């Protein structure tokens, strides 16, 4: 009897007796569902946690500041920088040329005076906040190449990013909303409002009040969370460069809220080839002479914890599958005791031991495959249900919803794993069936 | 014992690969057959030094009290179990020399069983049950369906092809079983009380069918029955008592 004929026979044996196999199939299905749901949740958790750590940018991002490295701080995730040191195109070229560096995005910051609109929200916003809006405040504008936002630790919360070439569009952070005593959970309220800002410059000749600003009107097009550099306004790099160049022409050192910048770039965001190269790249940048920071130790330890959680969850699922396999084995053994005569008849009409073995191995595998398929599907649905409950909670908390990480690998693994385990569980009963004497066919004692 | 000597002589001359003669029944030659069961440490001798002959294409009925060993004799003739002692020769097969896959091949190609219980697989339809015999003998998928249909209509059940055994009457089940037993044109058909569970009309129909197929296929038929009027219809009528066969 060929495998194909044995499959056809076993298929009928299982599907036309599904009532009997039902409980066995169910136990496999439950185990597979548990495994799938646990693994999917674990993997989604991992992806989300790492996404949080990466702050919307690549996980292998490294921040470089225009300062010399402090030798005592080099291995720290958040290294305190040493004395300021100019960071220009030479340094960018040197860092971009390092073997394990994928990309380098410069950041330019500029201290500015901001005049917020009053009220600071769109006219169509339902509830007008009664907050007192300051007439002006000093804040840092962070300028980056908006075309490279995917390489930066920038997460869009509302609206859109400013277009790369624009001199009139900016985005603000939730820090801006908090400064104006607005609800950070309703970032849409500030979209489309006008923000007037000025780059300061000190004119020594003006004596008592030496500060003059170059004014410019911008529109807030988006609200972001960003960690490219400290600052509540994110703008295309040209805006920050223009402001900084104006401030740089000051002919005396200002007091208080700002200082005259000398470095062409205030920092860089460097992306390494992978998590493993972060350490090496940081060492090389330190050697070039700049202070770096990256959450590498944090990521490494978080990943260790995540791995432990995954192992624990997968073990629970695997134990369930093993229990289900034992269930298959015992159900099959019972079935064989019940089907002695049928097995005898098969042999009486000419089936060889190995034909009987095949039929029962395939029956076991089919139970595993059906249970695995049903269970994996159910597990995916359970994970989805859990995901939507979690998302409901996250959205209620004003956080971004998570994407469920329903990996095809987990699904394939669930089905194949159940089938293989069931096959293994079927070997003992199938052998026993194959060895039953043919005279059982007679149905005597 | 002269019987044993004759048997040993025959052993030497028979080659396993000798093909059985086509289109005719197999001769049965049993010499000094002894078989016992061990239960609870005691040995229960069921058949003792039994001799038995059937002509090729013959029709033999065996009667005997319950527990006399009739079923045991059939399991030995049909190669379901090797005999403990003695010689069982069916056609060119010396059953003492066969085991495992060879015995399975003998059952597949040369023997057709009809049990008291029909022995149909509950999960297969009538047609699939008949097909199963062809599947086991390696008939191609296309031909086995066609052949099974032909056989089912030969036993008058083409209408019930898609029914599972539970949906058939006892007599119908036995007729399906007969169709299956005859699938591979066996030289020997062994029927163990095929009418034991049937009412008189069904029993008559089943026996008539067996006799008809025996006549057309010219196979050797050994029929065990409790029913004296059925037993009386065979060419050779035997009674099994005390582990031996005697003319009835
Ligand atoms: N596998 C077995 N183990 C032990 N005793 C058996 C076995 N099979 C049959 N017997 C015994 O052998 C005797 C003959 O049984 P059997 O051949 O079935 O008789 P019959 O078919 O004539 O009723 C009975 O006493 C029965 O109990
Ligand atoms: Mg009997």
Ligand 1 pocket check for B205: Cβ under 6 Å: no
Say if residue A157 is in the same domain as residue A260: yes
Hey, is the C-beta of B121 within 8 angstroms of any chain A C-beta? yes
pTM score = 0.73
- Tell me, yes or no, whether A116 and A262 share the same domain: yes
In this complex, the residue of A17, A355, A443 whose CB is nearest that of residue B123 is A17
Instruction: Examine residue A284 and state whether it is found in any structural domain, yes or no.
Output: no
CB contacts, 8 Å: A441 with chain B: 80, 113, 115, 119
Lowest mean pLDDT among A230-239, B4-13, B33-42, B108-117: B4-13
Classify residue A199: in a domain, yes or no.
yes
pLDDT given for residue A408 in this prediction: 87
Predicted confidence (pLDDT) at residue B204 exceeds the cutoff of 50 = yes
Chain A residue with Cα closest to B194: A442
pLDDT-wise least confident of A109-113, B1-5, B37-41: B1-5
In tens, the pLDDT along B112-126 reads: 999 999 899 999 999
Task: Give distance in angstroms: CA of B71 to centre of ligand 2.
Answer: 4
Q: List the domain boundaries for chain B.
A: 27-247
pLDDT value, residue A126: 66
Alpha carbons A112 and A231: distance in angstroms, whole number = 10
Same domain, A306 and A267: no
Residue B20 scores a pLDDT above 80: no
Q: Calculate how far, in angstroms, residue B227's C-alpha sits from the geometric centre of ligand 2.
A: 13
Residues A257 and A305 placed together within one structural domain of the fold: no
Q: Which residues contact B101 (CB under 8 A, 6 or more apart)?
A: A352, A353
Segments of chain A with pLDDT less than 70: 126-131, 398, 444-445
pLDDT, residue B15, reads 38
pLDDT digits (tens, 9 = 90+) for B83-110: 889 999 998 999 888 888 999 999 999 9
Copy the structure tokens of residue B164.
């599972």
Q: How many domains does chain A have?
A: 2
| Residues of chain A numbered 10-39 and touching chain B (CB < 8 Å) | 12-13, 16-17
Which pLDDT does position B6 carry in this prediction?
A: 45
Residues A121 and A245 in one domain: yes
Which ipTM did the prediction report? 0.88
Alpha carbon B194 to its chain centroid, in Å, reads 11
Q: What is the pLDDT of residue B10?
A: 42
C-alpha–C-alpha distance, residues A261 and A140, integer Å:
12
Report helix, strand or coil for A265: coil
| Chosen from A17, A349, A443 to mutate, greatest number of chain B CBs within 10 A | A349
Where a domain ends, among A272, A289, A320? A272
* Residue whose entry in the numeric block shows the structure tokens 């490494």: A300
Number of C-beta neighbours around residue A410 at 10 A = 23
Set of chain B residues whose Cβ sits within 8 Å of the Cβ of A347: 80, 104, 107
Across the interface, do B71 and A9 touch by the CB < 8 Å criterion?
Answer: no
Token digits of residue B116: 């008291």
Q: Note whether A349 contacts B122, CB cutoff 8 Å.
A: no
Shared domain check, A45 and A175: no
Q: What is the DSSP string of A58-83?
A: -TTEEEEESBPPPGGGTT-TTPPP-S
Q: Whose CA is nearest to atom 7 of ligand 1?
A: A445
- Do residues A119 and A161 both lie within one domain? yes
Q: How is residue A59 annotated by DSSP? A: T
Q: How far apart are CA B136 and CA A417, in angstroms?
A: 31
Query: Using CB atoms and an 8 Å cut-off, which of residues 97-116 of chain B contact chain A?
Result: 100-101, 103-105, 107-109, 113, 115-116
Q: Is B37's C-beta closer than 6 angstroms to any atom of ligand 1?
A: yes
CB contact under 8 A, B101 and A16: no
What pLDDT is stored for residue A130 in this prediction?
A: 62
Residue with tokens 């960071």: A87
Closest CB to B119: pick one of A5, A12, A345: A345
Residue A380, domain extent:
3-54+301-442
Cα–Cα dist A146/A169, whole Å: 11
A259 and A113 housed in the same domain: yes
Calpha distance A141→A231 (Å, rounded): 6
Q: In this complex, how many residue pairs, one in chain A and one in chain B, have their CB atoms less than 8 Å apart?
A: 85
Pair of tokens at residue A384: 């989805």
Candidates B75, B151, B224: best to mutate against A (most CBs of A within 10 A) is B75
Q: Which two tokens mark B115?
A: 């049990």
User: In what helix (H) or strand (E) does residue A106 lie, and over which residues does it extend?
Assistant: strand A101-115
Q: Are residues A353 and A258 in the same domain?
A: no
Spatial distance between the Cα atoms of A418 and A381, rounded to a whole number of angstroms? 18
Number of C-alpha atoms within 13 angstroms, CB side, residue A261? 25
Same domain flag for A17 and A121: no
Select the more confidently predicted residue: A443 or B152. Answer: B152
pLDDT at B29: 93
Minimum mean pLDDT range among B94-98, B145-149, B177-181: B94-98
Identify all chain B residues contacting A9, using CB atoms and an 8 Å cutoff: 124, 132, 135
The superfamily in CATH containing domain B27-247 is: P-loop containing nucleotide triphosphate hydrolases (3.40.50.300)
Give me the residues of A, 226-255, that contact B with CB < 8 A. none
User: Rounded to an integer, what is the distance from CA B216 to the centroid of its chain?
Assistant: 17
Domain ends where: A254, A272, A290?
Answer: A272
Residue A323 CA, ligand 1 centroid: distance in Å: 40
Q: Is B229 exposed, middle or buried (0-12, 13-18, 19+ CB in 10 A)?
A: exposed
User: Among positive and negative, which fits the CA dihedral A234, A237, A238, A240?
Assistant: positive
Q: Is residue A237 part of a domain?
A: yes
Nearest to B136 among A351, A353, A442 (CB): A351
Give residue B97 CA to ligand 1 midpoint distance, Å.
24
The pLDDT assigned to A248 comes to: 87
Instruction: Say what the pLDDT of residue A180 is.
Output: 87
pLDDT, position A302 = 86
Q: Do A347 and B80 touch (CB under 8 A)?
A: yes
A271 and A151 in contact (C-beta within 8 Å)?
Answer: yes
Residue A201 resides in a domain: yes
Give yes or no: residues A305 and A431 share one domain. Answer: yes
Examine the pLDDT at B191 and tell me if it is beyond 90: yes
pLDDT at B11 over 70: no
A258 and A305 assigned to the same domain: no
Q: Tell me the two tokens of residue B209.
A: 């069918």
Q: Is A202 on the interface with B (CB under 8 A)?
A: no
Q: How does pLDDT run across A8-21, given as a tens digit for each residue?
A: 999 998 888 888 88
Report whether residue B91 contacts ligand 1, using a CB cutoff of 6 Å.
Answer: no
Q: pLDDT tier at B21 (50, 70, 90 boundaries)?
A: very low
Note the pLDDT of residue A22. 87
**Residues in chain A closer than 8 A to B74 (CB atoms):** 442
B33, B38, B72, B190: which to mutate for ligand 1, most atoms within 8 A of CB?
B72
């Amino acid at each position: 009897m060929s495998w194909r004929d044995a499959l056809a026979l076993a298929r009928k044996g299982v599907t036309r007796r599904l009532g009997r196999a039902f409980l066995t199939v169910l136990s496999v299905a439950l185990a597979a569902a548990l495994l799938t749901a646990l693994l999917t949740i674990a993997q989604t958790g991992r992806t989300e946690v790492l996404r949080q750590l990466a702050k919307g940018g690549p996980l292998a991002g490294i921040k470089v500041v225009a300062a010399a490295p402090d030798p005592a701080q080099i291995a720290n995730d958040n290294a305190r920088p040493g004395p300021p040191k100019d960071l220009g195109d030479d340094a960018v070229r040197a860092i971009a040329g390092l073997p394990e560096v994928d990309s380098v995005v410069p950041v330019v910051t500029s201290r500015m005076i901001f005049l917020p609109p009053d009220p600071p929200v769109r006219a169509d916003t339902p509830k007008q906040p009664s907050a007192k809006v300051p007439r002006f405040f000093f804040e840092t504008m962070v300028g980056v190449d908006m075309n490279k936002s995917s390489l930066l630790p920038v997460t869009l919360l509302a609206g859109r990013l400013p277009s790369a070439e624009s001199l009139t569009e900016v985005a603000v952070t939730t820090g801006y909303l908090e400064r104006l005593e607005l609800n950070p959970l309703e970032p849409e309220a500030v979209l489309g409002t006008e923000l007037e800002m000025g780059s300061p410059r000190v004119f020594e000749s003006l004596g008592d009040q030496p500060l003059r600003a170059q004014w410019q009107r911008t529109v807030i097009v988006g609200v972001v969370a960003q960690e490219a550099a400290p600052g509540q306004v994110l703008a295309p790099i040209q805006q920050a460069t223009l402001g900084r160049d104006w401030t740089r022409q000051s002919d005396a050192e200002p007091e208080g809220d700002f200082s005259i910048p000398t470095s062409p770039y205030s920092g860089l965001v460097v992306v390494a080839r992978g998590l493993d190269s972060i350490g090496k790249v940081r060492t090389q940048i330190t050697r070039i002479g700049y202070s770096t920071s990256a959450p590498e130790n944090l990521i490494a330890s978080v990943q260790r914890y995540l791995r432990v959680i995954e192992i624990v969850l997968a073990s629970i699922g695997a134990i369930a599958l093993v229990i289900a396999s034992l269930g298959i084995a015992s159900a099959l053994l019972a079935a064989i005791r019940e089907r002695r005569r049928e097995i005898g008849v098969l042999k009486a009409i000419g089936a060889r031991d190995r034909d009987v073995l095949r039929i029962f191995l395939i029956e076991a595998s089919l139970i595993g495959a059906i249970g695995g398929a049903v269970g994996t599907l159910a597990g995916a649905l359970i994970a989805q249900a859990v995901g939507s409950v979690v998302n409901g909670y996250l959205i209620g908390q004003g956080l971004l919803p998570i994407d469920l990480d329903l990996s095809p690998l987990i699904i394939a693994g669930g089905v194949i794993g159940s089938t293989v385990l069931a096959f293994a569980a079927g070997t003992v009963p199938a052998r026993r069936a194959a060895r039953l004497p043919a005279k059982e066919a007679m149905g005597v004692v | 014992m002269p019987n044993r000597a004759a048997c040993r002589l025959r052993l030497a001359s028979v080659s396993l690969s000798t093909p059985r003669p086509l289109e005719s029944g197999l001769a049965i030659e049993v010499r000094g057959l002894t078989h016992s069961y061990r239960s609870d440490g005691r040995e229960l001798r069921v058949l003792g030094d039994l001799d038995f002959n059937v002509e090729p294409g013959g029709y033999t009925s065996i009667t005997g009290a319950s527990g006399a060993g009739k079923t045991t004799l059939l399991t030995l003739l049909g190669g379901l179990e090797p005999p403990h002692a003695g010689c069982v020769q069916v056609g060119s097969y010396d059953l003492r020399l066969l085991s495992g896959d060879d015995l399975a091949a003998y059952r597949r190609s040369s023997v057709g069983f009809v049990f008291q219980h029909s022995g149909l697989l509950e999960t297969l339809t009538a047609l699939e049950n008949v097909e199963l015999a062809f599947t086991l003998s390696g008939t191609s998928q296309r031909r086995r369906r066609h052949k099974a249909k032909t056989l089912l209509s030969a036993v008058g059940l083409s209408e019930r092809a898609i029914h599972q055994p539970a949906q058939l009457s006892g007599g119908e089940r036995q007729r399906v079983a007969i169709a299956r037993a005859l699938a591979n044109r066996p030289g020997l058909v062994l029927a163990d009380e095929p009418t034991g569970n049937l009412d008189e009309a069904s029993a008559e129909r089943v026996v008539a069918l067996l006799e008809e197929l025996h006549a057309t296929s010219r196979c050797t038929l050994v029929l065990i029955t409790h029913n004296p009027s059925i037993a009386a219809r065979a060419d050779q009528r035997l009674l099994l008592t005390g582990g031996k066969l005697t003319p009835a």
